[in-house]
Amino acid sequence: MDDRTDDRHGEHSRALALLVALAVRPSFERCCRHGDEFFDHFYATLADRIPGVGAKFHGVDMEKQNSLVREGIRRLLDYAELDGTVRPELERLGRLHAHENLDVQPDLYPAWVETLLEAVREFDPEYDPRLGDAWREAVRPGIELMTAVY
């Protein structure tokens, strides 16, 4: 089976793939033009929102973390665009966040998504609520993959 016809993606996901290519990815790239400023805002808000998260990042090189998470978000978008080749990387990320490692409980992920969207709203001048909904749909399949291995 070719990687682009991953069996987790049905025909209905093609609409999502298109939405990611046309709207969500361009939105993310507009945010990334702000570099660390965008990601610093995201992590500062995340630390405010989720008790204990600030401590998890204590001593972490945040510039390095920013570029790793930027690539991670790109992998979430690749997956929503039906690129099955990124699946092993998302599963690796899932195991890294799983109970035996970073121990990020699956019920924390919705707050991660909403915090990311707040940063997008702040930094993407073309943001509107419909784009926000497209973002939520876009990151869902990859996050499901990550949390499945918790």
Binding site for ligand HEM (CB under 6 A): 50, 53, 56-57, 60, 65, 68-69, 72-73, 76, 93, 96-97, 102, 104, 108-109, 112, 143, 146
Q: Which residue is nearest to ligand HEM (CB)?
A: 72
Task: Quote the least distance from Cβ 91 to ligand HEM, whole Å.
Answer: 12
**Shortest CB 121 distance to ligand HEM, Å:** 18
CB of 1 to ligand HEM, least distance (A): 25
Inter-CA distances, 67 with 15, 35, 61, 74, 106, Å: 29, 9, 10, 11, 23
Residue (54 or 128) nearer to ligand HEM, CB: 54
Taking the complex as a whole, how short is the minimal distance between the CB of residue 26 and ligand HEM, in angstroms?
A: 18
Taking phi over 0 as left and psi of -120 to 50 as alpha, with beta for the rest, 98 belongs to: beta
- Evaluate the CA torsion angle 80, 125, 29, 115 in order and state its sign: negative
Q: Any idea which residue has 């997956």 for tokens?
A: 79
Smaller CB separation from ligand HEM, 16 or 146: 146
Q: How far apart (Å, rounded) are the C-alpha atoms in residues 2 and 59?
A: 41
If residue 123 lies in a helix (H) or strand (E), which one and from where to where? helix 109-123
Residues in Cβ contact with 89 at an 8 Å cutoff, skipping those fewer than 6 apart: 75
- Provide, rounded to whole angstroms, the least separation between the CB of residue 112 and ligand HEM: 4
In terms of CB distance, is 85 or 128 closer to ligand HEM? 85
